[in-house]
Structure 1
Amino acid sequence: MCTVVVRVDPRSAWPVTMLAMRDESPSRPWDPPAAWWPDRDPSVRGVRDREAGGAWLAASDERGLAVVLNRWEDVPSADGTWTTRGVLPIDAVADGELPGHDGSLPTTRAFNLVRATASGAEVLSWDGSRVRTTELGPGVHMVTHGEPDDPAAPRIGRWLEAFRQVAAPDGPPELAPFDELRAADADASAGADAGDAGDGWGPWFGVLAASAALAPDDPDAILRDTVEPEGHFATLSIVAAAVGPGRTVLQHARLADPGDISGSVELHRA
């Protein structure tokens, strides 16, 4: 399941920065960030799921950023079908529509929707019974397949404090995610803490690089390659992003080998 790390600072010129790792079936086709939905809003760009047509992550300069993560609860369906969760980031960024805004319940499987604007960040959670909103106050937060910042959750219990203990990025990523990771690896090999490669993202990528020492099927691993009850899931890409007034910046890296940061990558800036 996906992992998102969020830093919120309302006083900053870039109030929200985010590091997001996408976990999905390696056999499910998808496209890197681009303006895939011109019929909804030509300014919206995001990571498109080719199979269902929705987005894992969507962004625009005007409305910020939204990313959807699967939750663990089993949501029943009367006819055995569900609306794709990929509509949620697009609705949030293209129209400003959030799940439950009109009083209706979602027709999707369970999810966490992380929503970031220049005003701050929040998580909208659907567990099959109701939609709940958790405001992410100033500081650093972590979201996976359960409650935000839950220390009992794998990955969060192992890594949230590590992210909180290092300097958080307070502006847009200038380097691609794997440039950051390679710099962090080089620092670690030299016996040094992860330094700042110039854009403030080095410390967070240092924590991410340290997490890669775990086996990709370890429950605490952030970079994953594992078989779950629902199927084979692996980390397919990494996004570093910053949201400010009237501007959202993304750096995206697609892993050639799912779950493995040592191989080749495909880089995109959006």
Structure 2
Amino acid sequence: MCTVIVRTGAPLTLMGVRDELADRPWEGPGEHWPEYPGVVGGRDLKAGGTWLAVDPAAGRAAALLNGRGTAAPDNVRVSRGDLPLKALAEGGLPDVDLAAYDPFHLLLADVSGARLWSWDGVRQAALTLPDGVSVIVNTGLDSGDPRVQAQRPRFTATTDWWPLTDGPHSSAPGALILRHELPDGRLYASLSVTMVTLSADAVTTEFRDLTSRIGSQA
């Protein structure tokens, strides 16, 4: 996941845009983890975890972004994809050895608000998202990142978020739906968008696969 937008309030709305190598195998939302019954999310088929998942019974959603900092040692490193699943089950930052994980940002949301934990490989920090619209990227919450600067005003100005994901993939600074051809010939792009709405009465999830839209670079 590379961009998560959250609007607090009633209902709480969370949108996650997943950017990844186009040839990395994955599958769309489902109940893929028997050890976490009822949890629904997309699954990364290489490591088995998820970038965003929802527990409708608990009224919770969790999202994971790669962070910046010091990588975990090769001999102890484990996939970060289990963190959203554990956060949903435990209702907070999972009780794990953070030193085994590469840097990350982990978001957990319910009807009361959203909490963000960040790990840079050395230090762990936590904060509660403020009222209104927040944009989280790989560099953190509402930073000076061009994507945050470009997208936060757009998402603040409307409650109808899906049209903001329309249009071609782009390599432009600040683009929400991106596409980059890497020097080695591989393609890195926005592959899917998930939107979750959490209210006291219901949890709704909408998912869109963007792979058919990647096309050529704009």
| TM-score where L is the length of structure 2 | 0.87
Larger Rg: 1
Contact 1:44–1:94 (8 Å) recurs in 2? no
Pairing partner for 1:208 from 139, 160, 165: 165
Q: Deviations over 1:75-131 (max 9, x none)?
A: 24153x5211100111011333514x57x4341111111211122112111111112
Q: Deviations over 1:24-81 (max 9, x none)?
A: 111111111110011x2211111111111111111112141001111232424153x5
Matches within 5 A, 1:5-154: 5-9=5-9, 12=10, 14=11, 16-38=12-34, 40-61=35-56, 62-77=58-73, 79=75, 82-99=77-94, 101=95, 104-150=97-143, 152-154=144-146
What secondary structure does 2:98 align onto? coil
Once residues 233 and 73 of structure 1 are traced to their aligned partners in structure 2, the CA distance between those partners, rounded to angstroms, is: 21
Once residues 115 and 8 of structure 1 are traced to their aligned partners in structure 2, the CA distance between those partners, rounded to angstroms, is: 12
Aligned length: 214
- Alignment of 1:220 with 2:178, yes or no, is no
Q: CA deviation at 1:245?
A: 3.1
Give the percent of matched residue pairs that are identical in Structure 1 and Structure 2. 31
Contact 1:223–1:259 (8 Å) recurs in 2? no
Query: Which residue does the alignment assign to 1:163?
Result: 155
Contact 1:64–1:247 (8 Å) recurs in 2? no
Q: What letter matches 2:21 in structure 1? A: S
Once residues 74 and 155 of structure 1 are traced to their aligned partners in structure 2, the CA distance between those partners, rounded to angstroms, is: 23
What secondary structure does 2:151 align onto? helix
Once residues 128 and 227 of structure 1 are traced to their aligned partners in structure 2, the CA distance between those partners, rounded to angstroms, is: 28
Q: Alpha carbon RMSD of aligned pairs, Å?
A: 2.4
Q: What letter matches 2:210 in structure 1? A: L
Structure 2: state its 5+ residue gaps: none
Once residues 239 and 8 of structure 1 are traced to their aligned partners in structure 2, the CA distance between those partners, rounded to angstroms, is: 17
Relative to structure 1, is the Cα distance of residues 116 and 251 closer, same or farther in structure 2, using a 3 angstrom cutoff? same
Once residues 37 and 115 of structure 2 are traced to their aligned partners in structure 1, the CA distance between those partners, rounded to angstroms, is: 25
Contact 1:141–1:160 (8 Å) recurs in 2? yes
Structure 1: state its 5+ residue gaps: 169-200, 262-270
What secondary structure does 1:257 align onto? helix
Q: CA deviation at 1:260?
A: 5.4
Q: What letter matches 2:117 in structure 1? A: L
Once residues 253 and 87 of structure 1 are traced to their aligned partners in structure 2, the CA distance between those partners, rounded to angstroms, is: 22
Once residues 183 and 108 of structure 2 are traced to their aligned partners in structure 1, the CA distance between those partners, rounded to angstroms, is: 28
Query: Which residue does the alignment assign to 2:191?
Result: 236
Q: Deviations over 1:227-254 (max 9, x none)?
A: 4689742111111110123642111011
Once residues 72 and 228 of structure 1 are traced to their aligned partners in structure 2, the CA distance between those partners, rounded to angstroms, is: 20
Once residues 72 and 125 of structure 2 are traced to their aligned partners in structure 1, the CA distance between those partners, rounded to angstroms, is: 18
Q: What letter matches 2:190 in structure 1? A: T
| TM-score where L is the length of structure 1 | 0.72
Q: Deviations over 1:118-177 (max 9, x none)?
A: 221121111111121121121001011012011x1120011212221x232xxxxxxxxx
Relative to structure 1, is the Cα distance of residues 96 and 116 closer, same or farther in structure 2, using a 3 angstrom cutoff? same
